Amino acid sequence: MGKLNGKKIAVVLENDFEDSEFYVPYNRLKDEGAELTIVGLEKGKVLEGKSEGYKAKTDRSFDEVKPEDFDALLIPGGYSPDKLRAHEKAVDFVKGFEGKPVFAICHGPQLLISAEMVKGKTVTSWASVAVDLKNAGANWVDRDVVIDGNLVTSRKPADLEAFVGAIIGMLGK
């Protein structure tokens, strides 16, 4: 039995996600007993990662889920968050996690910018997203993992160990 037994985590995903930023947290959290649901624009769609060609299939569409069905939200990086932020249903779903644990890595905070969830928060991200976060009112810092209240952010695949450790630390209480 893992530390996260019974925890329900939504994973928002679209094509061109950063492979390891999806499968490393997904598999580790699953190993800890969490129930993960891949949520995308279309149920049953096979999505492909941008660097390794890793494939993931959506379990549900945004039309089929509500934030209140989940304990937490995971936003892997790559180009997936930028693609999702162009869809109102995706942004509204993310907004519904205000006050709940939210985990975003690399370009993941782009979706949080569109959901207006970064103002006044201390965060990190892939370096090129820093100016967007600052313009949205966030305090951007260059660290492997940043925890601000219920928000956990990380920069890149090299930070995955710290990122997943922070997620398990927060949800495993």
* Positions marked catalytic: 106-107
Task: Determine the angle formed by the axes of helices 160-171 and 19-31, rounding to 10 degrees.
Answer: 40
Single-letter code of the amino acid located at 61: S
In this structure, are strands 72-75 and 60-61 parallel, antiparallel, or unpaired? unpaired
The Cα 62–Cα 65 span in angstroms is 6
String of DSSP letters for 84-146: HTT-HHHHHHHHTTTTS-EEEETTTHHHHHHTT--TT-EE---GGGHHHHHHTT-EE---SEE
